[in-house]
């Protein structure tokens, strides 16, 4: 944390930059870091909590080893994204925003990744899978399934 | 001092131009996000490796460029200077491209684009129908520029406009030029850019700010991303010129966090601009100082609204606030702030270089210039298209877009994102500009154009958008926070077949109050998708409510899948693919769906071979009859 703080002046305008950095470092925002940020920026913890829960990117829970993101943009929607999402929900047994019990997968939706030509799109750990079909859902998951959660 | 920098800029330009004149063959590979997803980086790497292996570096350049726009056909490779257009290029094609096209100057027929209408194979990029009717004055350079190399932009007259402004024009003259061009903001509202600058310039303050709004949140629109990724310097140059005109010393580019490539490319571009003394202290040796920072958003749609965006930069929750005071007078940290959209900024250098008169000849009486649309959805040629204002929807959808996928029937085009509306087939001849779209009940918005065919349910689309705004409502205003929730509840009920008489009236009343009682654009325009679908597709709402039927066969609760016994060949394919084992049958015997078990995922419908097409969808009374028949 000290290293992160050294890059930013103690000013509210740095708050979102700092949260980005913390999330990158830990994969999520560990609650105890909030008070450290509060002391550094001299803003109340409740305000920091308000900011980080306002924005979708930030999460207070650790994510699974693999992140599956389903694009729910309009172009993907009309090309069948809801059915793809349903299939992931069914196979993983979790709702968007949740992590599987074995901590292997986190399922998320996003409102548009701007690659509309390829809809419906699924992103697994940064790899784009364009023009997804229902039957390809298993293929995407299979790659990781044999691993043990890290 | 001035001469030193200008000479350096011009010298660089001249050097690059000379090297270009040598007409070295250049393999350009589209590096836009669409092509990235298709694996263009691997293709580019393979080209580089092969060129090295064959020792051709002296003769051939390989360049990863910005987005070419024709995302449907990625990865796209264009071989310059001949402009040979290869599409869907795979790693396995690369050796052949080098052996045939580069060395023997022979065209590889298989990689060419085939015009689906004439069946003709097209060699040159500019001859492809997708590009023919476009006017790519903003977006066209993307295909020539390596966004990570400022020299490519400089070679194409980059930063010439900035030098002209700094040394030959006063701030007032710049504003007059922009006003004269008739440029209107491309972010959605369409306010006159020059007028906006003028107000901010007149504001009395030592400190002023410039913001580039790249929080492109409208689902289905991605032109801002492609501009920032593909030609970041055009946006940066526009911003510096704007800052000079207004008298700002600091600028911000607010980019969505979902656009990592844009953040990366724009950060590199800013560093390079500083090295050429185009940013920072004493720009190009003049007395003008200006610097730009990149701000990464954090995933909130409402932060695209200007007052919310500024709150976000200040490190707070992205809540909108009352206007006036407008940002031009009281913006970021209470100081006068001018905020424009990415595409607006990219127009600025062009207007300065070519003049307001030239610019204002393009477009319609009140909407000048071009507009980039993202043409997506059920359309053959998906991609980004730049067209002059005033072009008709028909030209965009049929001439450029190549018509509807699988020859289905066109139903509607949705413009303007969650704030816009759906325009039906009878309005296809509508010339597109800011004002005609509003008249049709929709809006320009940021330029998303989502094409919908007969298989799109308009009630479901309305529900989709309201669900979106409900999730994205920041919660500050009650009519928006609770109104959108009510919309979602009513619309969901309708799509589930639980619609009641009077629901349509309720939706209309709710629209009125949500519009009237919300502070920012998000809430004020949230009812638009409902209002336009009610205006043009009321019969679909009525079918859902009165007949419990979904005419487009989309709403799960209102449809049933059924295997036609006379068509089924008993191939077991659907049976094996059914995720819930709801299909019974044996090889060469008719399969049957157990309606009780069926979750209506559509897997059987998708997998049944096109030659057989034994799985059908039914709704309404027909559905009830089929279910009865099947249970017998």
Does residue B292 sit in helix, strand or coil? Answer: strand
| Residue B34 with chain A: CB contacts under 8 Å | 115, 117-118
User: Rounded CA gap, B191 and B197, in Å?
Assistant: 11
Instruction: With cut-offs at 50, 70 and 90, classify the pLDDT of residue B6.
Output: confident
- Average pLDDT of chain B is 94
The verdict on a CB contact (< 8 Å) between A75 and B217 is no
Lowest mean pLDDT among B17-26, B91-100, B351-360: B17-26
Percent of chain B with pLDDT over 70: 99
Q: Are B216 and B206 in contact (CB under 8 A)?
A: no
The verdict on a CB contact (< 8 Å) between A114 and B37 is no
Q: Kindly report, residue by residue over B256-306, the tens digit of the pLDDT.
A: 998 988 999 999 999 999 999 999 999 999 999 999 999 999 999 999 999
Q: What is the mean pLDDT of residues B405-434?
A: 94
Does residue A147 sit in helix, strand or coil? Answer: coil
Query: What phi, psi does B145 have (nearest 5°)?
Result: -100, 135
Lowest mean pLDDT among B1-15, B257-271, B373-387: B1-15
Residue in chain A nearest B257 by alpha carbon: A57
Instruction: With cut-offs at 50, 70 and 90, classify the pLDDT of residue B22.
Output: low
Q: What is the mean pLDDT of residues B67-71?
A: 91
| Among B74, B222, B603, beta carbon nearest to A114 | B222
Query: What phi, psi does B570 have (nearest 5°)?
Result: 70, 50
| Residue B222 with chain A: CB contacts under 8 Å | 112, 114-116
| Residue B318 with chain A: CB contacts under 8 Å | 54-55
A114, A119, A139, best to mutate vs chain B, most B CBs in 10 Å: A114
Does residue A128 sit in helix, strand or coil? Answer: strand
A87 close contact with B: CB closer than 8 A: yes
Q: Are B379 and B404 in contact (CB under 8 A)?
A: yes
pLDDT attached to residue B23:
65
Q: Domains (ranges, CATH) in chain B?
A: 24-80+84-123 (3.40.30.10), 150-360 (3.40.50.11540), 370-453 (3.10.20.600), 458-546 (1.20.1440.230), 556-631 (3.30.70.20)
| Residue appearing with tokens 């930030």 | A58
Strand spans (E) along B298-443: 337-341, 370-377, 383-388, 410-415, 421-424
pLDDT attached to residue A150:
45
Does residue A44 sit in helix, strand or coil? Answer: coil
Does residue B42 sit in helix, strand or coil? Answer: helix
Low-confidence ranges of chain A (pLDDT < 50): 149-150
pLDDT attached to residue B32:
87
Q: Kindly report, residue by residue over B219-267, the tens digit of the pLDDT.
A: 889 999 999 999 999 999 999 999 999 999 999 999 999 898 899 999 9
| Among A78, A86, A110, beta carbon nearest to B456 | A78
Q: Kindly report, residue by residue over B589-619, the tens digit of the pLDDT.
A: 999 999 999 999 999 998 999 999 999 999 9
User: Which helix (H) or strand (E) is A19 found in, with range?
Assistant: helix A15-26
User: Rounded CA gap, B435 and B414, in Å?
Assistant: 16
The verdict on a CB contact (< 8 Å) between B220 and A15 is no
The verdict on a CB contact (< 8 Å) between B314 and A12 is yes
| Residue B317 with chain A: CB contacts under 8 Å | 50-51, 54
pLDDT attached to residue A28:
94
pLDDT attached to residue B594:
94
Q: Domains (ranges, CATH) in chain A?
A: 2-54 (1.10.10.1590), 66-145 (3.40.30.10)
Q: What is the mean pLDDT of residues B526-542?
A: 97
B422 forms bridges with which residues in the sheet?
Answer: B414
Give the CA-trace dihedral at A143, B43, B219, B234, to 10 degrees. 150
- Say which residues have a Cβ less than 8 Å from residue A138's Cβ, sequence separation at least 6: A91
B315, B374, B576, best to mutate vs chain A, most A CBs in 10 Å: B315
Distance from CA of A30 to the nearest CA of B (A): 17
| Among B221, B225, B312, beta carbon nearest to A16 | B312
Is B1 a residue whose pLDDT tops 70?
A: no
| Among B34, B317, B579, beta carbon nearest to A118 | B34
| Residue A19 with chain B: CB contacts under 8 Å | 298
Q: Which two tokens stand for residue B270?
A: 């800013």
Does residue A76 sit in helix, strand or coil? Answer: helix
| B400 CB-side CA count, 13 A | 30
| Among B315, B374, B579, beta carbon nearest to A15 | B315
| Among A14, A51, A112, beta carbon nearest to B317 | A51
B294 forms bridges with which residues in the sheet?
Answer: B253
pLDDT attached to residue B616:
95
Strands B209-214 and B250-255, how do they pair?
Answer: parallel
The verdict on a CB contact (< 8 Å) between B258 and A110 is yes
Q: Kindly report, residue by residue over B106-130, the tens digit of the pLDDT.
A: 999 999 999 888 899 999 998 999 9
| Among B220, B318, B579, beta carbon nearest to A73 | B220
Distance from CA of B219 to the nearest CA of A (A): 5
Q: Which two tokens stand for residue B282?
A: 């004493």
- Say which residues have a Cβ less than 8 Å from residue A113's Cβ, sequence separation at least 6: A69, A71, A73, A121, A123, A128, B33, B258
User: Rounded CA gap, A111 and B215, in Å?
Assistant: 13
B262, B298, B374, B475, best to mutate vs chain A, most A CBs in 10 Å: B298
């Amino acid at each position: 944390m000290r290293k992160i703080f050294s890059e930013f002046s103690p000013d509210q305008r740095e708050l979102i930059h700092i949260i980005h950095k913390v999330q990158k470092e830990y994969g999520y925002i560990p609650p105890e870091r909030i008070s450290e940020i509060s002391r550094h920026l001299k803003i109340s913890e409740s305000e920091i909590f308000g900011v980080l829960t306002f924005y979708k990117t930030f999460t207070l829970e650790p994510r699974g080893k693999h992140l599956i993101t389903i694009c729910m943009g309009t172009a993907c929607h009309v090309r069948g994204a809801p059915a793809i999402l349903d299939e992931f929900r069914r196979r993983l047994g979790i709702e968007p925003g949740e992590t599987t019990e074995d901590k292997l997968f986190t399922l998320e939706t996003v409102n548009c990744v701007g690659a509309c030509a390829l809809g419906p799109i699924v992103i697994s750990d940064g790899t784009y899978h364009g023009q997804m079909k229902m039957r390809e859902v298993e293929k995407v998951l299979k790659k990781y399934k044999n691993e043990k959660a890290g | 001092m001035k001469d030193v920098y200008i000479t350096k800029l011009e010298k660089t330009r001249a050097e690059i131009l000379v090297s270009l004149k040598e007409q070295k063959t250049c393999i350009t590979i589209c590096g836009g996000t669409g092509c990235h997803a298709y694996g263009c980086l691997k293709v580019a790497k393979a080209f580089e490796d092969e060129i090295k292996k064959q020792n051709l570096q002296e003769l051939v350049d390989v360049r990863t460029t910005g987005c070419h726009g024709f995302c449907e056909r990625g990865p796209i490779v264009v071989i310059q200077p001949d402009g040979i257009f290869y599409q869907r290029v795979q790693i396995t094609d690369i050796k052949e491209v080098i052996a045939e096209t580069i060395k023997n100057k022979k065209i590889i027929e298989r990689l060419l684009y085939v015009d689906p209408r004439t069946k003709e194979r097209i060699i040159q990029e500019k001859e492809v129908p997708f590009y023919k009717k476009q006017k790519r004055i903003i977006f066209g350079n993307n295909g020539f520029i390596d966004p990570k190399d400022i020299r490519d932009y400089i070679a194409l007259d980059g930063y010439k406009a900035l030098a002209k402004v700094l040394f030959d024009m006063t701030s007032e003259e710049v504003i007059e030029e922009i006003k004269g061009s008739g440029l209107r903001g491309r972010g959605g509202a369409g306010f006159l850019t020059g007028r906006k600058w003028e107000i901010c310039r007149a504001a009395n303050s030592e400190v002023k700010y410039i913001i580039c709004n790249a929080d492109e949140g409208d689902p289905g629109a991605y032109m801002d991303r492609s501009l920032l990724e593909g030609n970041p310097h055009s946006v940066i140059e526009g911003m510096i010129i704007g800052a000079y005109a207004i008298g700002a010393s600091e600028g911000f580019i607010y980019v969505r966090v979902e656009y990592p490539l844009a953040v990366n490319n724009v950060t590199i571009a800013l560093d390079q601009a500083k090295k050429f003394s185009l940013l920072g202290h004493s720009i190009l040796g003049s007395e003008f100082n200006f610097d730009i920072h990149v701000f990464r958003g954090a995933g909130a749609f409402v932060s695209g609204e200007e007052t919310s965006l500024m709150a976000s930069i200040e490190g707070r929750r992205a809540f909108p606030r009352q206007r006036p005071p407008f940002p031009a007078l009281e913006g970021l940290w209470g100081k006068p702030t001018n905020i424009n959209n990415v595409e607006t900024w990219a127009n600025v250098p062009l207007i300065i270089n070519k003049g307001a008169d030239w610019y204002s000849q393009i477009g319609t009486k009140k909407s000048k210039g071009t507009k980039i649309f993202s043409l997506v959805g059920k359309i053959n040629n998906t991609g980004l298209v730049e067209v002059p204002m005033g072009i008709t929807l028909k030209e965009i959808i049929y001439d450029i877009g190549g018509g509807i996928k699988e020859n289905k029937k066109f139903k509607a085009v949705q413009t303007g994102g969650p704030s816009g509306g759906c325009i039906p087939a009878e309005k296809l001849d509508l010339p597109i500009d800011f004002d005609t779209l509003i008249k049709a009940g929709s809006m320009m918005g940021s330029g998303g154009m989502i094409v919908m065919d007969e298989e799109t349910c308009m009630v479901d689309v309305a529900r989709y958008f309201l669900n979106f705004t409900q999730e994205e409502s920041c919660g500050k205003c009650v009519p928006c926070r609770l109104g959108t929730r009510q919309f979602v509840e009513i619309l969901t009920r309708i799509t589930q077949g639980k619609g009641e008489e009077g629901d349509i009236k309720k939706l209309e009343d709710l629209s009125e109050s949500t519009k009237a009682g919300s502070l920012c654009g998000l809430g004020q325009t949230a009812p638009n998708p409902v209002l336009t679908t009610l205006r043009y597709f009321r019969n679909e709402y009525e079918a859902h409510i009165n007949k419990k039927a979904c005419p487009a066969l989309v709403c799960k609760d209102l449809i049933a899948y059924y295997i036609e016994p006379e068509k089924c060949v008993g191939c077991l394919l659907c049976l094996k693919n059914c995720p819930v084992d709801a299909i019974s049958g044996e090889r060469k015997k008719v399969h049957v769906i157990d309606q009780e078990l069926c979750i209506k995922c559509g897997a059987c419908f998708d997998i049944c071979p096109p030659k057989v097409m034994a799985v059908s969808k039914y709704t309404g009374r027909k559905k009830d009859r089929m279910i009865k028949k099947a249970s017998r």
